Chain A
Amino acid sequence: MFRTTDVILIGVMVAAAAVTFKIKYDAELKYEEVRRLEAEIRTERDTIDVLEADLSVLTQPARLQTLVDAYAEELQLQSVEPDQIGSLDRLPETLRQIGEIVSARALEEAITDDVQTGAVSQ
């Protein structure tokens, strides 16, 4: 007859085998998952490369120029001339005071305004 210890030992053995099998099985599953993810990453990387190349093709100056030429009339596009380029600090100093000039004149005109318009009572 089996002794109790035998039964326990057999139980332990079976359990250990089961756990080992489970771990091995899980590990294989994980490996599979890793391989799948790696393949996915590779595909995504390749896709990024292609999309970057795509973007670069779409934003090529040569291509943009063809588009500009094609739609120039419809969108009324014109090239920028050098005299249209400037920066704020290159504006004449006096222009900064234009607000004062306007308000001073308005004050002046408010006193001596003799323009007859519809809004002024006739």
Chain B
Amino acid sequence: MITEHLRRLAGRAQSKASDGGIVLDGARTGNGRARNRLIMTIAVFLALYGAIAGRLVYLGFQEPADGSGPAPHNTASRPDIIDRNGELLATDIKTFSLFAEPRRIVDADEAIEKLLTVLPDIQYEQVYHRLRTDAGFVWLRRHLSPRQQAEIMALGIPGIGFRAENRRFYPGGPTASHIMGLVDIDNKGIAGIEKFIDSLGLADLREIGLAERETLKPFQLSIDIRVQHILHDELKRAMERYQTVAAGGVVLDARTGEVVAMASLPDYDPNNPVDAHKKDRLNRMSGGVFEMGSTFKGFTTAMALDSGAVGLNDSFDARQPLRVGKFTIKDFHGKGRVLSVPEIFIYSSNIGTARMAEQIPIEQHQAFFRRIGLLDRMTTELPEVATPTGPAEWKRINRITISFGHGVATTPLQTAVAASALVNGGMLIEPTFLPRSASQAAGQAKQVLSDKTSAAMRYLFRLNVEKGSGRRAEVPGYFVGGKTGTAEKVVNGRYSTDKRFNAFLSAFPVDDPKYVVLVILDEPKPEQPGMSATSGLNTAPVVSNVVRRSAPLLGVMPEFGHESTALLISTQ
């Protein structure tokens, strides 16, 4: 086609020359030569343009030089998480990672000199060697702030670039780690509240591309970061002071079931969760089950009182150890006499509690424990919830040991929930990590024991702090009531005498409980050699510190005119 075109062009030149009109310069020197020259010129130009066009096509088909490194990682947006006062607990921040393409770096020295003005801590030699390599792509620094990014951009260094990444950031670090949970590298929730948020439909929103950062509302929790910190801090100190394997605690709103603070140590830093999956980092408060020990005596006593078979003024013989089959039930601090119900409670008598429990049929005992939610898996927002373990069918020996907290393992969190039912007038309210108003709570609360029994329990809890094993939990002005629990741990199938699981279950102010505090310490050692390591000596002071530090923040006003006898009168 081109040749045809050429021929036509040449023919036109020829015809014009013969017409004697406009004549090409070369036409005078001879027809054939002029034509040849013309063809030559055209051919040269065509070849030239052809070469250029060919090169263009070639370049067009070329893949651009590999300088962009790994494909950009598109991380999803997540809503901020805030505490009950609006303080930030978790947020997404956009970070920028600085990369260089050494092949395109013109002057490595100059580039580093300039970078040093913004990032003064970069290693000159290391970066120099990286920039001098022949690699197409090297990371220089991950996770820069937008400000640093803007400054480096302004330097105008050729051959460097940025990759924007969304990164989940927890300003509190490990403070609320077990509640927050974790996100994976794609910013998907894989544990804790983060996972719960995804289960609410965030994952679906993300699928259809609607989870834009601007449209996501902050997600509010019932946690108070200040109280959370206090609990975490006190537990950390207790772990050091008593050399424990683990520690845990929860502060629960007794009237709404809101978890105000919950911590389990050892924990992890969600910003750098390298050891989050170690076995000892589990969330002991909701994801671990324990034999709660003597704190269960509170539930047994409440059951006995609520059934009407036992009154506060009844007495039980605790002089002789109780023999059941081949087992012998003894008291830790045996008084060796007949004890009244309040005495059984404050001296934490196993014999007395067992005898008291035996006034009630076994089925009723089991049904009561089931009713206050100690035997079934609780439902709450956190995905990490363990199922309590215990015998399916209670025999006499089972119910006797269970009456003082051995033989049934349950989670500390549901123990605290059941305890709030004991003191708040008998209403069992499911625990929640989301804000809940008192009226919402009342709507779903279940009456599990009578108001009168609850009043008696408040009296007993207070009496135990005034005169019993919980004396060290006292905080002047806040009227703390509570029950100690020192359980022997099972080691190789036998109860060990030197490994203990201690708990302290308390409520304050106990005349009208607003908050329930439960602290557990796993295998505490004596503070000083020769001292004992019972619950009254280690968990009670921790509770005392938590209450003293957090009560003003929770808006509980101290009162000094409390009369404990008023509690007793209200039970009659």
Binding site for B on A (CB under 8 A): 43, 45-47, 49-50, 52-53, 55-57, 59-62, 65, 79-83, 85-87, 90
The interface residues of chain A, by DSSP majority, are classed as: helix
Is B171 interfacial (CB 8 A cutoff)?
yes
Main secondary structure on chain B at its contact with chain A?
A: mixed
The 10 A-B residue pairs with the shortest CB-CB distance, nearest first, are A82-B477, A61-B229, A56-B171, A82-B558, A56-B88, A46-B94, A57-B171, A46-B146, A47-B146, A61-B226
A90 neighbours in B (Cβ, 8 Å): 557
> How many angstroms from the CA of A81 to the CA of B150 in the assembled complex?
49
Q: Which residues of B contact A82 (CB under 8 A)?
A: 475-478, 548, 551-552, 558
Q: How far is the CB of B167 from chain A (nearest CB, A)?
A: 10
Do B233 and A85 touch (CB < 8 A)? Answer: no
Of A45, A60, A86, the contact of B229 (CB 8 Å cutoff)? A60
Is B230 a contact partner of A49 (Cβ separation < 8 A)? no
Note all chain B residues with C-beta closer than 8 A to A83. 476-477, 558, 560
Contact B172 A60 (CB under 8 A): yes
Contacts A/B (CB < 8 Å), 7 sampled: A50-B94, A56-B88, A59-B87, A65-B233, A82-B558, A85-B557, A86-B558
A59 to B226, CA, bound (A): 10
Cβ–Cβ < 8 Å partners of A65 in chain B: 229, 233
A108 CB to nearest chain B CB (Å): 34
- Provide the residues of chain A in CB contact with B557, threshold 8 Å: 85-87, 90
| B475 proximity list for chain A (CB < 8 A) | 82
Q: Are A80 and B552 in contact (CB under 8 A)?
A: yes
Q: Looking at the assembled complex, report how far the CB atom of A80 sits from the nearest CB atom of chain B, in whole angstroms.
A: 7
For residue A87, which residues in chain B have a CB less than 8 angstroms away from its CB? 557
Closest to B91 in A: A53
A52-B477 in contact (CB<8A): no
Q: Are A49 and B229 in contact (CB under 8 A)?
A: no
**Which of the residues A53, A79, A85, A86 comes within 8 Å of B88, measured between beta carbons?**
A53
List, in ascending order, chain A residues with CB within 8 A of B175's CB. Answer: 60-62
| Complex: A50 Cα to B143 Cα, angstroms | 12
CA distance A47 to B225 in the complex (A): 24
- Docked Cα-Cα span, A59 to B93, in Å, equals 18
Please, how many angstroms separate the alpha-carbon atoms of A81 and B225 in the complex? 21
- Give the docked Cα–Cα distance between A47 and B145 (Å): 8
Residues of A close to B336: CB separation below 8 A: none
- Is there an interface contact between B225 and A49, defined as CB atoms closer than 8 Å? no
A43, A79, A82: most-surrounded residue (chain B CB, <10 A)? A82
Name A58's closest neighbour in chain B (CB-CB). Answer: B171
Residues 231-253 of B at the A interface (beta carbon under 8 Å) = 232-233
The answer to whether B146 and A56 have CB atoms under 8 Å apart is no
Residues of B near A60 (CB, < 8 A) are: 171-173, 175, 225, 229
- For residue B169, CB closer than 8 A to chain A, the reply is yes
Question: Across the two chains, which residue of chain B brings its CB closest to A61?
Answer: B229
Instruction: Known A-B contacts: A62-B175, A83-B476, A86-B558. Give 20 more (CB < 8 A).
Output: A45-B214, A46-B146, A49-B91, A49-B94, A50-B94, A52-B88, A53-B91, A53-B171, A56-B172, A60-B225, A62-B173, A62-B229, A65-B229, A65-B233, A82-B475, A82-B476, A82-B478, A82-B548, A82-B552, A86-B557
* In the complex, chain A residues whose CB is within 8 Å of the CB of B233: 62, 65
CB distance from A88 to the nearest CB of B (A): 12
Docked complex Cα distance between A52 and B146 (Å): 13
Q: Is B451 an interface residue (CB 8 A)?
A: no
Is B92 part of the binding interface, using a Cβ–Cβ cutoff of 8 Å? Answer: yes
Q: Which residues in window 523-572 of B have CB below 8 A to A?
A: 548-549, 551-552, 557-558, 560
- CB contacts (< 8 Å) of B173 on chain A: these are 60, 62
> In the complex the two chains form, what is the Cα distance from A10 to B53 in whole Å?
38
Least CB distance from B94 to A in Å reads 4
Minimum CB–CB distance from A90 to chain B (whole Å) comes to 8
Contact across chains for A49 and B552 when beta carbons are under 8 A apart: no
For B146, the chain A residues whose CB sits under 8 A away are 43, 46-47, 50
CB of A78, distance to nearest CB on chain B (Å): 13
Chain B neighbourhood of A56, CB < 8 A: 87-88, 91, 171-172
Asked whether any CB of chain A lies closer than 8 Å to the CB of B7, the reply is no
Inter-chain contact A47/B548, CB cutoff 8 Å: no
Q: How many Å lie between the Cα of A85 and that of B551 in the bound state?
A: 11
Interface residue? B141 (CB, 8 A)? no
Also in contact, A52 and B91, with CB within 8 A (given A46-B146, A47-B146): yes
Q: Which residues of A contact B145 (CB under 8 A)?
A: 50
Complexed CA–CA distance, A53 and B81 (Å): 12
Distance in Å from the Cβ of A120 to the closest Cβ of chain B? Answer: 45
Q: With a CB–CB cut-off of 8 A, which chain A residues contact B551?
A: 82
B37, CB-defined interface residue at 8 Å: no
B171 touches A46 (CB 8 A): no
Cβ of B86 to closest chain A Cβ, rounded Å: 11
Residue B147 interfacial (CB < 8 Å): yes
The chain B residue sitting closest to A79, CB to CB, is B549
Chain A residue numbers with a CB within 8 Å of B230 are: 61
A46 to B94, alpha carbons, bound, how many Å? Answer: 6
